[in-house]
Protein backbone atom coordinates (compact mmCIF):
# COMPACT_ATOMS: atom_id res chain seq x y z
CA UNK A 1 0.00 0.00 0.00
CA UNK A 2 1.53 3.33 -1.02
CA UNK A 3 1.11 6.34 1.23
CA UNK A 4 -0.62 9.47 -0.08
CA UNK A 5 1.65 12.49 0.26
CA UNK A 6 -0.78 14.83 2.01
CA UNK A 7 -0.38 14.89 5.78
CA UNK A 8 -2.73 15.16 8.72
CA UNK A 9 -2.54 15.16 12.53
CA UNK A 10 -4.33 12.34 14.28
CA UNK A 11 -5.89 14.79 16.75
CA UNK A 12 -7.76 16.32 13.79
CA UNK A 13 -9.15 12.89 13.00
CA UNK A 14 -10.50 12.60 16.54
CA UNK A 15 -12.31 15.92 16.17
CA UNK A 16 -13.79 14.86 12.81
CA UNK A 17 -14.95 11.55 14.29
CA UNK A 18 -16.89 13.28 17.05
CA UNK A 19 -18.83 15.21 14.42
CA UNK A 20 -19.59 11.99 12.55
CA UNK A 21 -20.87 10.48 15.81
CA UNK A 22 -23.04 13.47 16.66
CA UNK A 23 -26.16 11.98 15.06
CA UNK A 24 -26.34 9.51 17.95
CA UNK A 25 -27.95 11.37 20.84
CA UNK A 26 -26.20 9.13 23.37
CA UNK A 27 -22.82 10.62 22.47
CA UNK A 28 -21.59 13.28 24.90
CA UNK A 29 -18.23 15.05 24.90
CA UNK A 30 -16.22 16.08 27.96
CA UNK A 31 -13.27 18.47 28.06
CA UNK A 32 -10.67 19.54 30.61
CA UNK A 33 -9.84 23.04 29.38
CA UNK A 34 -8.07 21.83 26.23
CA UNK A 35 -10.85 21.29 23.69
CA UNK A 36 -9.14 23.53 21.15
CA UNK A 37 -6.01 21.39 21.32
CA UNK A 38 -7.72 17.99 21.35
CA UNK A 39 -10.16 19.19 18.64
CA UNK A 40 -13.29 18.33 20.62
CA UNK A 41 -14.03 22.06 20.29
CA UNK A 42 -15.72 21.41 16.93
CA UNK A 43 -18.35 19.24 18.61
CA UNK A 44 -18.79 21.79 21.41
CA UNK A 45 -19.42 24.58 18.92
CA UNK A 46 -22.30 22.70 17.27
CA UNK A 47 -23.64 20.77 20.27
CA UNK A 48 -23.01 22.81 23.43
CA UNK A 49 -25.91 21.11 25.20
CA UNK A 50 -24.08 17.75 24.88
CA UNK A 51 -20.66 19.07 25.87
CA UNK A 52 -19.37 19.42 29.42
CA UNK A 53 -16.31 21.60 29.97
CA UNK A 54 -14.90 20.85 33.42
CA UNK A 55 -11.84 23.09 33.42
CA UNK A 56 -8.51 21.83 34.73
CA UNK A 57 -10.10 18.95 36.63
CA UNK A 58 -9.15 15.73 34.89
CA UNK A 59 -10.07 13.41 37.77
CA UNK A 60 -13.50 14.99 37.95
CA UNK A 61 -13.87 14.70 34.16
CA UNK A 62 -13.31 10.95 34.31
CA UNK A 63 -15.83 10.44 37.12
CA UNK A 64 -18.46 12.64 35.46
CA UNK A 65 -17.94 10.55 32.33
CA UNK A 66 -18.40 7.33 34.32
CA UNK A 67 -21.62 8.67 35.82
CA UNK A 68 -22.94 9.52 32.37
CA UNK A 69 -21.93 6.07 31.08
CA UNK A 70 -23.90 4.47 33.91
CA UNK A 71 -26.92 6.49 32.75
CA UNK A 72 -26.90 5.23 29.17
CA UNK A 73 -24.67 7.86 27.56
CA UNK A 74 -21.52 7.19 25.49
CA UNK A 75 -18.93 9.66 26.81
CA UNK A 76 -15.85 10.77 24.87
CA UNK A 77 -13.47 12.63 27.20
CA UNK A 78 -10.20 14.25 26.13
CA UNK A 79 -7.20 16.22 27.33
CA UNK A 80 -3.43 16.04 26.85
CA UNK A 81 -2.02 12.51 27.23
CA UNK A 82 0.12 13.59 30.19
CA UNK A 83 -2.91 15.04 31.99
CA UNK A 84 -5.01 11.91 31.55
CA UNK A 85 -2.51 10.35 33.94
CA UNK A 86 -3.86 12.56 36.72
CA UNK A 87 -7.09 10.60 36.43
CA UNK A 88 -5.52 7.14 36.25
CA UNK A 89 -6.98 5.95 39.54
CA UNK A 90 -10.42 7.20 38.49
CA UNK A 91 -10.12 5.38 35.16
CA UNK A 92 -9.19 2.21 37.01
CA UNK A 93 -11.72 2.30 39.84
CA UNK A 94 -14.44 4.56 38.43
CA UNK A 95 -14.59 3.30 34.85
CA UNK A 96 -12.90 -0.03 34.18
CA UNK A 97 -13.50 -1.86 37.47
CA UNK A 98 -17.31 -1.41 37.35
CA UNK A 99 -17.25 -2.19 33.61
CA UNK A 100 -18.44 1.19 32.32
CA UNK A 101 -17.75 2.21 28.74
CA UNK A 102 -15.95 5.56 28.65
CA UNK A 103 -13.68 6.53 25.77
CA UNK A 104 -10.68 8.61 26.80
CA UNK A 105 -8.46 10.43 24.31
CA UNK A 106 -5.02 11.77 25.18
CA UNK A 107 -3.56 14.15 22.61
CA UNK A 108 0.01 15.48 22.31
CA UNK A 109 1.50 12.12 23.31
CA UNK A 110 5.19 11.26 22.95
CA UNK A 111 8.30 13.37 22.35
CA UNK A 112 7.08 14.24 18.84
CA UNK A 113 5.06 16.96 20.61
CA UNK A 114 8.32 18.91 20.65
CA UNK A 115 9.06 22.18 22.40
CA UNK A 116 6.63 21.74 25.32
CA UNK A 117 9.39 19.84 27.10
CA UNK A 118 9.61 16.72 29.26
CA UNK A 119 6.89 17.72 31.74
CA UNK A 120 4.30 17.65 28.93
CA UNK A 121 5.66 14.67 26.97
CA UNK A 122 3.91 11.50 28.02
CA UNK A 123 6.10 8.52 27.15
CA UNK A 124 4.38 6.14 29.55
CA UNK A 125 0.64 6.58 28.87
CA UNK A 126 0.21 3.53 26.63
CA UNK A 127 1.96 1.36 29.21
CA UNK A 128 -0.26 2.66 32.02
CA UNK A 129 -3.54 1.99 30.26
CA UNK A 130 -2.40 -1.42 28.99
CA UNK A 131 -2.24 -2.54 32.63
CA UNK A 132 -5.96 -1.88 33.28
CA UNK A 133 -8.07 -5.03 32.82
CA UNK A 134 -10.48 -4.83 29.89
CA UNK A 135 -9.09 -1.54 28.58
CA UNK A 136 -8.69 -1.09 24.83
CA UNK A 137 -5.57 0.93 23.94
CA UNK A 138 -5.00 2.54 20.51
CA UNK A 139 -2.49 4.87 18.86
CA UNK A 140 -3.49 5.71 15.24
CA UNK A 141 -0.89 6.92 12.75
CA UNK A 142 -2.73 9.69 10.85
CA UNK A 143 -5.92 11.73 10.80
CA UNK A 144 -7.96 9.38 8.63
CA UNK A 145 -7.19 6.26 10.64
CA UNK A 146 -7.82 8.12 13.91
CA UNK A 147 -11.21 9.22 12.59
CA UNK A 148 -12.21 5.73 11.47
CA UNK A 149 -11.09 3.97 14.65
CA UNK A 150 -12.76 6.57 16.88
CA UNK A 151 -16.04 6.17 15.00
CA UNK A 152 -15.85 2.40 15.60
CA UNK A 153 -15.79 3.06 19.35
CA UNK A 154 -19.50 3.90 19.19
CA UNK A 155 -20.29 0.18 19.22
CA UNK A 156 -17.28 -0.94 21.27
CA UNK A 157 -18.11 -2.79 24.48
CA UNK A 158 -15.00 -1.87 26.47
CA UNK A 159 -13.59 1.35 27.87
CA UNK A 160 -10.76 2.72 25.77
CA UNK A 161 -7.76 5.01 25.68
CA UNK A 162 -6.68 6.52 22.35
CA UNK A 163 -3.48 8.50 22.01
CA UNK A 164 -3.37 11.17 19.29
CA UNK A 165 -0.53 13.36 18.07
CA UNK A 166 -0.18 17.11 17.77
CA UNK A 167 1.80 17.34 14.53
CA UNK A 168 0.94 16.37 11.00
CA UNK A 169 2.43 13.18 9.60
CA UNK A 170 2.21 11.64 6.12
CA UNK A 171 -1.09 9.88 5.53
CA UNK A 172 -0.83 6.11 5.38
CA UNK A 173 -4.44 5.77 4.22
CA UNK A 174 -6.97 7.45 1.98
CA UNK A 175 -10.76 7.71 2.34
CA UNK A 176 -11.25 4.19 0.96
CA UNK A 177 -8.37 2.22 2.46
CA UNK A 178 -9.05 3.47 5.99
CA UNK A 179 -12.44 1.72 5.85
CA UNK A 180 -10.62 -1.63 6.08
CA UNK A 181 -9.29 -0.78 9.55
CA UNK A 182 -10.66 -2.66 12.52
CA UNK A 183 -10.01 -2.24 16.23
CA UNK A 184 -7.74 -5.06 17.39
CA UNK A 185 -6.43 -5.95 13.92
CA UNK A 186 -3.08 -4.73 12.63
CA UNK A 187 -2.88 -3.23 9.15
CA UNK A 188 -0.19 -4.44 6.74
CA UNK A 189 1.03 -1.45 4.72
CA UNK A 190 3.95 -3.09 2.94
CA UNK A 191 4.96 -6.71 2.24
CA UNK A 192 8.48 -8.08 2.60
CA UNK A 193 9.88 -11.47 3.56
CA UNK A 194 13.08 -10.54 5.39
CA UNK A 195 12.02 -8.58 8.46
CA UNK A 196 8.77 -7.20 9.88
CA UNK A 197 8.55 -3.67 11.30
CA UNK A 198 5.63 -3.31 13.70
CA UNK A 199 4.90 0.30 14.62
CA UNK A 200 2.23 2.71 15.84
CA UNK A 201 1.49 6.41 15.76
CA UNK A 202 3.99 8.80 14.23
CA UNK A 203 6.48 5.95 13.87
CA UNK A 204 4.46 4.28 11.12
CA UNK A 205 5.56 6.80 8.50
CA UNK A 206 9.14 6.50 9.80
CA UNK A 207 8.86 2.73 9.39
CA UNK A 208 7.77 3.12 5.78
CA UNK A 209 10.80 5.35 5.12
CA UNK A 210 13.04 2.78 6.78
CA UNK A 211 11.56 0.02 4.61
CA UNK A 212 12.27 1.97 1.42
CA UNK A 213 15.85 2.57 2.54
CA UNK A 214 16.32 -1.11 3.43
CA UNK A 215 14.94 -2.13 0.05
CA UNK A 216 17.75 -0.18 -1.61
CA UNK A 217 20.14 -2.34 0.43
CA UNK A 218 18.49 -5.58 -0.63
CA UNK A 219 16.42 -6.11 2.53
CA UNK A 220 12.65 -6.35 2.06
CA UNK A 221 10.53 -5.41 5.08
CA UNK A 222 6.89 -5.89 5.94
CA UNK A 223 5.49 -2.78 7.65
CA UNK A 224 2.54 -3.09 10.01
CA UNK A 225 0.47 -0.28 11.49
CA UNK A 226 -0.32 -1.86 14.88
CA UNK A 227 -2.75 0.89 15.83
CA UNK A 228 -4.30 -1.25 18.57
CA UNK A 229 -1.85 -2.21 21.31
CA UNK A 230 -4.57 -3.93 23.34
CA UNK A 231 -6.12 -6.25 22.36
CA UNK A 232 -3.00 -7.07 20.37
CA UNK A 233 -3.30 -8.80 16.99
CA UNK A 234 -1.36 -11.90 18.04
CA UNK A 235 -2.47 -13.88 14.99
CA UNK A 236 -0.75 -11.39 12.70
CA UNK A 237 2.38 -11.40 14.88
CA UNK A 238 2.54 -15.20 14.69
CA UNK A 239 2.15 -15.02 10.92
CA UNK A 240 4.98 -12.48 10.63
CA UNK A 241 7.22 -14.50 12.95
CA UNK A 242 6.69 -17.50 10.70
CA UNK A 243 7.61 -15.81 7.43
CA UNK A 244 10.24 -13.24 8.47
CA UNK A 245 13.66 -13.65 10.06
CA UNK A 246 12.70 -11.38 12.93
CA UNK A 247 10.61 -8.49 14.23
CA UNK A 248 11.42 -4.83 14.94
CA UNK A 249 8.99 -2.65 16.90
CA UNK A 250 8.96 1.15 16.64
CA UNK A 251 7.14 3.61 18.89
CA UNK A 252 7.31 7.17 20.20
CA UNK A 253 6.95 5.81 23.73
CA UNK A 254 9.09 4.21 26.38
CA UNK A 255 10.42 0.78 25.48
CA UNK A 256 9.14 -0.22 28.92
CA UNK A 257 5.51 -1.31 28.73
CA UNK A 258 4.55 -0.06 25.28
CA UNK A 259 4.18 -1.71 21.87
CA UNK A 260 7.57 -3.40 22.00
CA UNK A 261 6.80 -4.89 25.39
CA UNK A 262 3.38 -6.06 24.21
CA UNK A 263 4.94 -7.88 21.23
CA UNK A 264 7.75 -9.28 23.40
CA UNK A 265 5.26 -10.60 25.94
CA UNK A 266 3.50 -12.55 23.21
CA UNK A 267 6.51 -13.93 21.31
CA UNK A 268 8.14 -15.02 24.57
CA UNK A 269 5.54 -17.77 24.84
CA UNK A 270 6.69 -19.34 21.59
CA UNK A 271 10.38 -18.38 21.64
CA UNK A 272 12.80 -18.42 18.77
CA UNK A 273 11.75 -15.08 17.25
CA UNK A 274 14.50 -12.42 17.23
CA UNK A 275 13.13 -9.05 18.32
CA UNK A 276 14.52 -5.52 18.45
CA UNK A 277 12.75 -2.53 20.01
CA UNK A 278 13.06 1.06 18.79
CA UNK A 279 11.63 3.49 21.33
CA UNK A 280 12.50 5.93 24.08
CA UNK A 281 15.01 4.44 26.53
CA UNK A 282 14.65 4.75 30.31
CA UNK A 283 14.72 8.55 30.37
CA UNK A 284 12.55 11.67 30.13
CA UNK A 285 12.23 13.83 27.05
CA UNK A 286 13.42 17.39 26.62
CA UNK A 287 12.56 20.52 24.67
CA UNK A 288 13.31 20.73 20.95
CA UNK A 289 11.81 20.34 17.52
CA UNK A 290 10.17 16.98 16.76
CA UNK A 291 13.06 16.00 14.48
CA UNK A 292 15.69 17.01 17.02
CA UNK A 293 13.98 14.99 19.72
CA UNK A 294 13.50 11.93 17.55
CA UNK A 295 17.20 12.00 16.73
CA UNK A 296 18.13 12.49 20.41
CA UNK A 297 15.89 9.59 21.48
CA UNK A 298 17.05 7.29 18.67
CA UNK A 299 13.63 6.85 17.06
CA UNK A 300 14.18 8.04 13.48
CA UNK A 301 13.76 5.93 10.36
CA UNK A 302 17.52 5.52 10.37
CA UNK A 303 17.41 3.95 13.83
CA UNK A 304 14.72 1.55 12.65
CA UNK A 305 16.85 0.60 9.65
CA UNK A 306 19.89 0.01 11.84
CA UNK A 307 17.87 -2.28 14.11
CA UNK A 308 16.62 -4.23 11.10
CA UNK A 309 20.13 -4.61 9.71
CA UNK A 310 21.41 -5.71 13.12
CA UNK A 311 18.69 -8.32 13.35
CA UNK A 312 19.43 -9.62 9.86
CA UNK A 313 23.13 -10.03 10.66
Q: What is the pLDDT of residues 236-283, one digit of tens each?
A: 999 999 999 999 999 999 999 999 999 999 999 888 899 999 999 999
pLDDT band with cut points at 50, 70 and 90 for residue 6? low
Residues 132 and 210 in one domain: no
Note the pLDDT of residue 17: 97
What lies within 8 Å, CB to CB, of 104 at 6+ separation is 62, 65, 77, 78, 84, 91, 159, 160, 161, 162
Q: Can you say how many angstroms the Cα of residue 199 is from the centroid of all Cα atoms in its chain?
A: 10
pLDDT band with cut points at 50, 70 and 90 for residue 136? very high
User: Average pLDDT for residues 72-86, to the nearest whole number?
Assistant: 97
**pLDDT reading at 3 higher than 50:** no
Rounded CA-CA distance 292/287 in Å is 9
Residue 41's domain spans which residues? Answer: 7-170
Known active-site residue 58:
yes
Residues 154 and 22 in one domain: yes
Residues 24 and 107 in one domain: yes
pTM of the model: 0.95
Report the phi/psi class of residue 124: left, alpha or beta, with left for phi > 0 and alpha for psi in -120 to 50: alpha
Structural domain contains residue 177: no
What lies within 8 Å, CB to CB, of 241 at 6+ separation is 196, 247, 267, 270, 273
User: Average pLDDT for residues 48-55, to the nearest whole number?
Assistant: 96
pLDDT band with cut points at 50, 70 and 90 for residue 96? very high
Structural domain contains residue 1: no
DSSP codes, 239-268: HHHHHSS-EEEEEEEETTTSHHHHHHHHHH
Structural domain contains residue 176: no
**pLDDT reading at 5 higher than 70:** no
Mean pLDDT, rounded, of the chain = 95
Identify any residues that bridge with 163 across adjacent strands, giving them in sequence order: 106
Note the pLDDT of residue 271: 80
Q: How many domains does the chain have?
A: 2
Q: Which CATH number do you get for residue 93?
A: 3.40.50.970
Note the pLDDT of residue 84: 97
Catalytic choice (58, 85, 148, 251): 58
Amino acid sequence: MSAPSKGGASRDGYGSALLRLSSDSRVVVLEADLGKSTKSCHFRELYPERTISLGIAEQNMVLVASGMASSGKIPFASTFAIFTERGFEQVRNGVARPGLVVHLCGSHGGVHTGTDGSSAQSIEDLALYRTIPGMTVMHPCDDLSAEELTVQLLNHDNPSYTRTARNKTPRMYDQETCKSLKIGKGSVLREGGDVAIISCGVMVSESMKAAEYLSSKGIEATVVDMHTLKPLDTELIDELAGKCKGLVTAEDHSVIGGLGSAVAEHVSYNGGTPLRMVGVSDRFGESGTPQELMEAMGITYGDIAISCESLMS
